[in-house]
Structure 1
Amino acid sequence: MKTIHIAEMIAQGGRDGSVEAPEGSFAVQLSTDEKPESVTPEHLFAGAYGSCFLGALKNAAETAHLPTEGFTVLARAHLEEDRRGGYNLNVELRAAMPGISESDARHVLNLAHQTCPYSKATRGNINVSLAFD
């Protein structure tokens, strides 16, 4: 296997700490205080999964000779507590694909879910729901 990219981040302080790139190009303060402007690890996961999935979605559409102009993905990561006090993630991925028919949208969503590295990594571990507008 050929390594394409290595990303490195430093986490400090846990869920109420910080995450930053060693070279200083990205840094975010995390907080679990439930204020609208607060950033949680789930925000970072949703953003990373959403952007990766969008890349896979656009690739699947291009392979099917479909236009990709205006494609976006809204990703929601739900942190949930189970009955035993353990925690789980569930993810919703909602794609906007202007100009794409319903059947083509379903097709490229499923193709993207098969090829996206985040989908592969989470398959069988978390629930991921796919939808489109």
Structure 2
Amino acid sequence: MNVLYTAKASVSGEGRKGAGKTDDGRLDVELSVPKGLGGDDGPGTNPEQLFAVGYAACFHGALKKVAREAKVDVEGSTIDSEVAIGSGDDGFGLAVQLKVTIPGQDQAGAQKLADAAHQVCPYSKATRGNIEVTVTAAGA
């Protein structure tokens, strides 16, 4: 792999209840445990929220790339993401739902673009075969 960029971050405290920051200072967040995991829903964010934003942003970039190559306008498109954490026989695991909305596209056209983006998105590649990821699309 020809590395183009490397993100560097550090977490301190008690993992899910602590603080995280990037080496460049652009991200500096307090971390808290959500009620669903036994926490108090404190003022901070959590790893699932950070993953949801990161995946949605990466997927949106992939969508714009495949749309550009197909010469399709996806202006005004949005990606809504949900990252669930739960427990199973083998411990904790994640599941992701991505909802792609593309104005001016019918459902079939939007789904075709979303499926193509799912093939090239680095987050999708990293999670493929490891966690359940559902991608649904709608025109608007």
**Could you state the TM-score of these two structures normalised by the residue count of structure 2?**
0.88
Q: 1:42 aligns with which of 44, 48, 52?
A: 48
**Are 1:130 and 2:135 an aligned pair?**
yes
Runs of 4+ in 1 over 6 A off after TM superposition: none
**Are 1:73 and 2:73 an aligned pair?**
no
1:23: how far off? 2.6
Q: May I ask how many residue pairs the two structures share in their alignment?
A: 132
**Are 1:22 and 2:28 an aligned pair?**
no
Residues 45-60 of structure 1 aligned to structure 2 (within 5 Å): 45-60=51-66
- Cα distance change on mapping 1:38 and 1:23 into 2, 3 Å: closer
What do residues 45-70 of structure 1 show as CA deviations (whole Å, max 9, x unaligned)?
A: 11111100010011111211111110
RMSD value over aligned CA atoms? 1.5
Structure 1 unaligned segments of length 5 or more: list them: none
Structure 1 or 2: more strand by fraction: 2
What do residues 53-101 of structure 1 show as CA deviations (whole Å, max 9, x unaligned)?
A: 01001111121111111011011110111145x1000000011111112
- Cα distance change on mapping 1:68 and 1:43 into 2, 3 Å: same
**Could you state the TM-score of these two structures normalised by the residue count of structure 1?**
0.92
Q: 1:120 aligns with which of 116, 125, 131?
A: 125
What do residues 20-53 of structure 1 show as CA deviations (whole Å, max 9, x unaligned)?
A: 0123221111101433864110001111111000
Structure 2 unaligned segments of length 5 or more: list them: 36-40
Q: Answer whether contact 1:66 1:100 (CA < 8 A) is retained.
A: no
1:103: how far off? 1.7
| Alignment-mate amino acid for residue 101 of structure 2 | A
Q: Answer whether contact 1:11 1:20 (CA < 8 A) is retained.
A: yes
